[in-house]
């Protein structure tokens, strides 16, 4: 009798271990509303075509985007009330520094002004600038939590990595160009890879979104101009992406990078 009881317990133990393992491997990442993937639509540099073309397109579908504002952009200063208004409507104002300094020593950087060369800016100076940008943005949107996109994906200031010093200031950081993650286990929310979207067609944008869905992960688009300005995509391509997302709303969680970052942080706690 004893032997029979012991045998049953062992069999049960193995059986439940086996099913627990299988279950863990099959569990999809817990996106809100049982969505299959998250989509972050981000727009860098504070450009006219973002206010003129991207915002009306997003608002038409009720989608919220993240706008990484360069505070010396003339469009930040001349249209400040409009940036404030979009923040009131739930779009995110992200930090993209004040001066948008980039490294002039890298290839194809002839366009970087000599007095705005990150190779000559100390870590303490760029960190102070980023803190000031947060203060200015807070005056606009009254938000205390914020995300950051690294200008030109250049993390070296005067040869030293400045990202460690600013990591505690942000909920999420988009720091490099990459692909859609194959697993959420690989994602460090303070060092997220983005899809650099210039010149992509609607079809290409949609296939990236589908790829994220097939992995159950997320796609982080970084746009610049929409139907104008620099590094742009056409309004047609942008509209095609948004229409696809609107038609497949149950599959995708479209939100600001701030909200996506907060959600991922919560899952990792």
Binding site for Zn ion (CB under 5 A): 44-45, 151
Q: How far is the CB of 30 from Zn ion (least distance, A)?
A: 32
Count of CB atoms within 10 A of residue 141's CB?
16
Q: How far is the CB of 71 from Zn ion (least distance, A)?
A: 12
Residue 196 or 239: the one with the smaller Cβ distance to Zn ion is 196
Residue 25 CB burial class (10 angstroms; 0-12, 13-18, ≥19): exposed
Q: How far is the CB of 171 from Zn ion (least distance, A)?
A: 19
Residue 44 or 92: the one with the smaller Cβ distance to Zn ion is 44
Residue 151 or 172: the one with the smaller Cβ distance to Zn ion is 151
Distance CA 91, CA 84 (A): 10
Q: Which residues lie closer than 8 Å to 83 by C-beta, 6 or more apart? A: 46, 51, 67, 69, 76, 93, 140
Residue 151 or 216: the one with the smaller Cβ distance to Zn ion is 151
Single out the residue of 50, 116, 119 nearest to residue 86, CA to CA. Answer: 50
Distance CA 73, CA 39 (A): 26
C-alpha dist (Å) from residue 33 to 38, 198, 206, 259, 266: 11, 30, 21, 14, 16
Residue 45 or 255: the one with the smaller Cβ distance to Zn ion is 45
Residue nearest to Zn ion (CB): 44
Q: How far is the CB of 223 from Zn ion (least distance, A)?
A: 11
Residue 44 or 251: the one with the smaller Cβ distance to Zn ion is 44
Q: How far is the CB of 152 from Zn ion (least distance, A)?
A: 6
Residue 37 or 46: the one with the smaller Cβ distance to Zn ion is 46
Q: How far is the CB of 83 from Zn ion (least distance, A)?
A: 16
- Full DSSP string of 30-54: --GGG-SEEEEEEEES--HHIIIII
Q: How far is the CB of 264 from Zn ion (least distance, A)?
A: 23
Rounded to the nearest angstrom, the gap between the alpha carbon of residue 197 and the centroid of all alpha carbons in its chain is: 13
Tokens 């005067």 belong to residue? 158
Rounded to the nearest angstrom, the gap between the alpha carbon of residue 184 and the centroid of all alpha carbons in its chain is: 14
């Amino acid at each position: 009798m004893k032997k029979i009881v012991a045998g049953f317990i062992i069999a049960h133990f193995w059986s439940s271990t086996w099913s627990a393992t299988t279950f863990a491997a099959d569990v999809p990442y817990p996106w809100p509303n049982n969505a299959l993937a998250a989509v972050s639509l981000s727009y860098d540099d504070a450009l006219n075509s973002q206010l003129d073309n991207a915002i009306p397109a997003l608002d038409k579908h009720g989608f919220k985007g993240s706008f990484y504002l360069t505070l010396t952009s003339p469009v930040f200063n001349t249209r400040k009330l409009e940036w404030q208004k979009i923040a009131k409507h739930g779009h995110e104002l992200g930090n993209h520094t004040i001066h948008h300094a980039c490294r002039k020593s890298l290839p194809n950087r002839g366009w970087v002004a000599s007095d705005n060369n990150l190779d000559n800016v100390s870590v303490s100076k760029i960190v102070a600038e980023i803190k000031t940008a947060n203060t200015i943005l807070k005056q606009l949107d009254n938000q205390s939590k914020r995300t950051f996109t690294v200008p030109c994906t250049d993390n070296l200031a005067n040869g030293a990595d400045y990202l460690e010093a600013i990591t505690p200031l942000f909920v999420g950081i988009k720091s490099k160009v990459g692909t859609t993650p194959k697993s959420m286990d690989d994602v460090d929310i303070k060092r997220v890879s983005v899809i650099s979207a210039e010149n992509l067609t609607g079809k290409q944008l949609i296939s990236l979104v589908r790829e994220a869905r097939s992995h159950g992960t997320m796609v982080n688009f970084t746009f610049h101009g929409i139907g104008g300005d620099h590094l742009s995509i056409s309004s047609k391509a942008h509209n095609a992406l948004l229409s696809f997302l609107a038609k497949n709303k149950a599959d995708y969680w479209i939100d600001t990078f701030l909200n996506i970052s907060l959600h991922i942080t919560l899952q990792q706690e």
